[in-house]
Structure 1
Amino acid sequence: MSISVGRDEIIDNYRDELTDAEIYAALAGVERNEKLRNELLKLSQYEVEHAKFWKSIAEEVGIDVGSVKPSRTSVLFSILVRRLFGLGFLVKLRESAEIEAIRRYGNLVRKRALGPYTDKLREILLDEVAHEEVFRDEASRFEAFIDNIRDAMYGMSDGLVEVLAAVAGLAPVVINPILITLAGLIVGTAGTLSMAVGAYMSTKAQRDIRETKLSKIDMELENLNVEDRVKRVKETLTKFGVDEDRASIAALSLSDSVDVSKKVVEVGEVGFSKEALESPGRSALYTGLFYLIGALLVIAPFPLLGHIIGNVGSLYISIVLVAIAQAISGLLTAISGSGKITRTIAMNIALSLGAAAATYAIGTIAHDVLHIAIT
């Protein structure tokens, strides 16, 4: 059975494995936790063996990979991210790349594209899957961090978009930058209150619905024996987002009590959906506060620089600040959902600037065509 993998794909896989080996070795060099450092060194060695495998495949089909080197940019970037944000952040950042590698290798295994070497590739695929288990605790810590700032990111994003759209529409019409600042503050304050109230009501409604469902289950469990009670609790937890293994463990611990609602909160660490137990007050605080921060970020250039560079110049600075903030927000959003990072960032920026462009066009028409100007 022949090998049916393209030259570029073989070289890319070889380079990727070399790069991963370098990344893990470099991370081990800066890791203080001895256990994690040893795990990183093991992973680096695994990746070296994977690279040797692809080198042997290349030699088998007559491809010279002697000049192929790992991506130094990826290595340096990984170290920078590790130092700035921690290992958990880096693990989540690399997760999408790991998933893509697993998908790619899985396709090759299913097609038996490497002929007699397919079984070895299957072993490498299992190694790649096992990599995620090594950093489960680190990834879990970062996911908890993401849970805490999710509302903050959404609130700030809304503040950036809405207030930028407002000041962009006013910039061509209003001459005095202080008036634009005042208008922006009014829009920002109104939006802050609206977002905070909306976040509180939405989160409280979701929490009340979940608690009502659990209360009904409490009453149902009163008439069940222990075995049926365990089964029912497991089914309930699974519906609420807990994976089956954790649901089984939780069900056993909860089966001796009919007060499931209270117990579920107490054992929330077994994996019960965080959204169901989120605090409405905290959600409102994060959403409203970061909406205001986003609004102030947009408004700041006008009172500080408006009299020097004009409203349009101030607007350009606001746009740059919004693009940077939305890039950060998009990065965190994509990582928390294991989505496409580049696509999410580009979409966030495009939507923000698109809204600003539309309102700026309206303001320009009002100024040039209708001769409206406010001094």
Structure 2
Amino acid sequence: MKKVGKTRVERARQAFLNGDLEMHRRLHSPEEIGKEPWHKTEQGKYIGQAVYGASDGIVTTFAAISGVAGANLSPTVALIVGLANLFADGLSMAIGDYLSEKSEKDYIKAERERELWEVEHLPEAEKLEVREIYKRKGLSGEKLEALVDAITSNKELWIETMLHEELGLFEDDTSPLKSALVTFFSFIIAGFMPLVTYVFASTWSFIANHQFMLSCVITAATLFFVGALRQVVTGVKWYKGGLEMLFVGGTSAAVAYFIGWLLRTVFGIVV
């Protein structure tokens, strides 16, 4: 299989993070800019959904079984609660992601159709709006008029400008269904990690005797790994992202554990 190299934009991003000004200049030379096709690719399009789906999956699942452990309930209860929480929350999150993405696309489509109608039926008013947009950005005189004429000479560019500059809307070609599936499976895979010891407890007595402790270790490692992956989306240092995710997940689990302990020891709730 042919290995896909990094794009110019990816290399420029890495040069920026490394403070490599010379590399940045080289990547912005006419030769480099001209030789790379200007099109979007599938690669990296759904990284955000994968990272955040995994983050939510592991935090919510571990918090659920921590609450069970705090209440000193049976490991079987932890497994049942964890699995039920994992699939229910994963499905809920995926459906929410799908509906959110689809609603946004439907809204942008409706606004595009409205802008098209206005350009075709009220061209002078729409041209005046374009002029006012760039006038407020500081342009004036011949430069302003030349830009307005250039934009309004192309209907597609005109509509895109109104969507971006007037309404603050930006279209992308992501699929709501693909986005939902990525969210669901990343949620399930990462969220399953805290349950590994409970699922395989019967295979080794050591696991059976230390289920929650081992789950904590596995979860901590997974939290740090998923947090480090946020660097791909946010650009933060990998170790900083890992520690932040570890802190958030640990705090959530500690609160859940404390609530479980409180209900059992203070209020005497026993299952």
1:342 aligned partner: 239
Deviation, structure 1 residue 318? 2.6
**Which AA in structure 1 matches 2:176?**
P
- Name the structure 1 match of 2:99: 201
Q: Deviations over 1:79-137 (max 9, x none)?
A: xxxx9x96469847834533xx36xxxxxxxxxxxxxxxxxxxxxx5x24314437879
Question: Structure 1 counterpart of 2:236, which letter?
Answer: G
Instruction: Tell me the distance in 2 between the aligned counterparts of 1:144 and 1:196.
Output: 20
1:166 is aligned with what amino acid?
Answer: A
The alpha-carbon deviation at position 340 of structure 1 amounts to 3.6
Q: Does 1:316 align with 2:213?
A: yes
TM-score by length of 1: 0.52
Task: Flag as ranges the 4+ runs of structure 1 deviating above 6 A.
Answer: 134-138, 140-143
Q: CA RMSD in A?
A: 4.1
Whole-Å separation in 1 of the counterparts to 2:216 and 2:27 = 38
Q: How does 1:263-342 map to 2 (within 5 A)?
A: 273=170, 276-305=172-201, 308-309=205-206, 313-342=210-239
- Displacement after TM superposition at 1:200 (Å): 1.3
CA contact (8 A) 1:92 1:338 kept: no
Which of residues 168, 172, 175 is equivalent to 2:66?
168
Report the residue type matching 2:185 in the other structure: L
Residue 174 of structure 1 deviates from its aligned partner by 4.6
Residue in structure 2 matched with residue 97 of structure 1 by the alignment = 17
Deviation at 1:164, TM superposition (A): 0.4
**Alpha-carbon separation, structure 1, partners of 2:53 and 2:177:** 14
- Give the secondary-structure state (helix, strand or coil) at the position aligned to 1:130: helix
- CA apart distance, 1:369: 4.0
Gaps of 5+ in 1: 1-32, 34-82, 103-124, 236-247, 265-271
Helix, strand or coil at the partner of 2:210: helix
Q: Distance in 2 between matches of 1:151 and 1:331?
A: 15
Task: Specify the alignment match of 1:155 in structure 2.
Answer: 53
C-alpha distance after superposition, 1:186-237 (max 9, x if no partner)? 1112102210111111111211222222112111221538xx59x79x98xx
Instruction: Quote the offset at 1:314 in angstroms.
Output: 2.2
Distance verdict in 2 for CA 1:310–1:341, change over 3 Å: closer
Compute the displacement of 1:143 (Å): 8.1
Classify the secondary structure of the residue corresponding to 1:145.
Answer: coil
Query: Structure 1 residues 336 and 318 mapped into 2: Cα distance closer, same or farther (>3 Å)?
Result: same
Equivalent residue number for residue 255 of structure 2: 358
Whichever residue aligns with residue 363 of structure 1, its letter is G
Equivalent position of 2:138 in the other structure: none
- 1:266-319 CA-to-partner distances (Å, cap 9, x unmatched) read xxxxxx956x44322222211122212222222121121277346783233333
Give the match's secondary structure for 2:46. helix
Counterpart of 1:148 in structure 2: which amino acid?
Y
Q: Residues 96 and 166 from structure 1, CA distance in 2 versus in 1: closer, same or farther, beyond 3 angstroms?
A: farther
- Contact 2:53 2:184 survives alignment (8 Å): yes
Report the counterpart of residue 144 of structure 2 in structure 1.
Answer: none
TM-score normalised by the chain length of structure 2: 0.69
Structure 1 distance, partners of 2:24, 2:157, is 39
Query: Which structure ranks higher in relative contact order (CA pairs < 8 Å, sequence separation ≥ 6)?
Result: 2
- C-alpha contact (below 8 Å) 2:70/2:259 kept by paired residues: no
Alignment counterpart, residue 114 of structure 2, candidates 200, 203, 216: 216
AA at the equivalent of 1:318 = S
Instruction: Measure, in 2, the Cα distance between the counterparts of 1:326 and 1:96.
Output: 27
Matches for 1:59-208 after TM superposition, within 5 Å: 87=6, 91=11, 94-95=14-15, 97-98=17-18, 101=19, 125=21, 127-133=22-28, 144-208=42-106
